[in-house]
Amino acid sequence: MPRKILKVQPITIPEAKAILESLGEETLDQFQRRSLDYVTKMSYIDSESARKLLGELRAEGILEEEEAVQIVNIMPKSIEELRVFLAGGRKIIETSKLEKILSVLDKYRKQ
């Protein structure tokens, strides 16, 4: 029986890691194990912090959900790196707003 997609929602890498870990490593197939290995290496923060950070970035009203998810996934450290993720959009974001986004990211960055 084919599966029906009910909802499409972008999730962060830390959230994907939490989902895969909750399934239990012994029950994962080969693709899921590779995915778990990848998300383990690429998670810069934990899933709970990722959700809070995503909420803070969205609350600013500057970023779309997909943009905010990608920024949480990569955790850019400079305005130049941040601009790379926002260059595809048709809007130009002021440097002061980009600095504010970076300050929010810095609060959640692992020490």
pLDDT confidence bin for 111, thresholds 50/70/90: very low
51 pLDDT more than 90: yes
- CA 51, 52, 54, 59 dihedral sign is positive
Phi, psi of 61 (to 5 degrees): 80, 10
Instruction: Of 1-5, 11-15, 61-65, give the range with the top mean pLDDT.
Output: 11-15
Picking from 4-13, 15-24, 41-50, 87-96, which range would have the lowest pLDDT averaged per residue? Answer: 87-96
Angle between helices 13-23 and 65-74 (to 10 degrees): 80
Rounded mean pLDDT, 63-80: 92
43 pLDDT more than 60: yes
The pTM (predicted TM-score) of the whole model is 0.84
Rounded mean pLDDT, 71-84: 92
89 pLDDT more than 90: no
